[in-house]
Structure 1
Amino acid sequence: MNKGYDFDGVLTTGRFKPEPGDCIITGRTWKDAELTRIEMGAMGILNIPIYFMPPIMKVPTGENGLIMTGMWKAIIIDACELDEYFEDDEVQYRTIINNIQGETIITKV
């Protein structure tokens, strides 16, 4: 079973640890890649692919930004054909549920 995880609010809680075949899909952009990899290393998360949101898709903070991030995550979840994805943010969770095309189980944490 291949799983996907949000980074902030899911993996940062320490409750989950990705395994080989899993991935991370984050609303952070590649500009945060170095910091994110350092944080992952400190949590013992190594050699796990991570998908960063394209900076061009980032919109101002607030609900519109969370909706855009959820829509982007839904596309990546479908492209990765994940069995399950874990999300903590309520707005992103609802947006993913409403936009996902595949059979991925979306779990709110």
Structure 2
Amino acid sequence: MPSTAKRLAQVASHISNAQTLVSNNNITYHDLNPTVFLPRAAAIEPKAPAIVHKSSTGRDIRRTYQEFADRARGLAYFIKLKCGNGNIGILAPNTPLPLEVFFAQVLNRIKH
């Protein structure tokens, strides 16, 4: 029976930086970095549910990681066109929009 580290390495082999994690003998460590979270999640499980929100009309809003990443990229492009590279602020209800704006602004910051 393979060791735990070998089994985890096999499971994590589809992750782009899995070899780095294994070579550091710290396979459970991963930065909680918003610049890599959404693209990584969309690459690994594009059809997995990322957002489930009940709207004020009672309708469920559901988005997969791929849809979430696509919307964030589109919003990032729009924000960059309209606001440039400056800071932005948002006042919004508890909906998926603030989450999408957060990741859009993160994407704008790392594209330069």
- Length-normalised TM-score, structure 1: 0.29
Report which of the two has the higher share of helix. Answer: 2
Higher relative contact order (CA 8 A, sep 6+): 1
More strand by share: 1
Q: Larger Cα Rg: Structure 1 or Structure 2?
A: 2
TM-score normalised by length of structure 2:
0.29
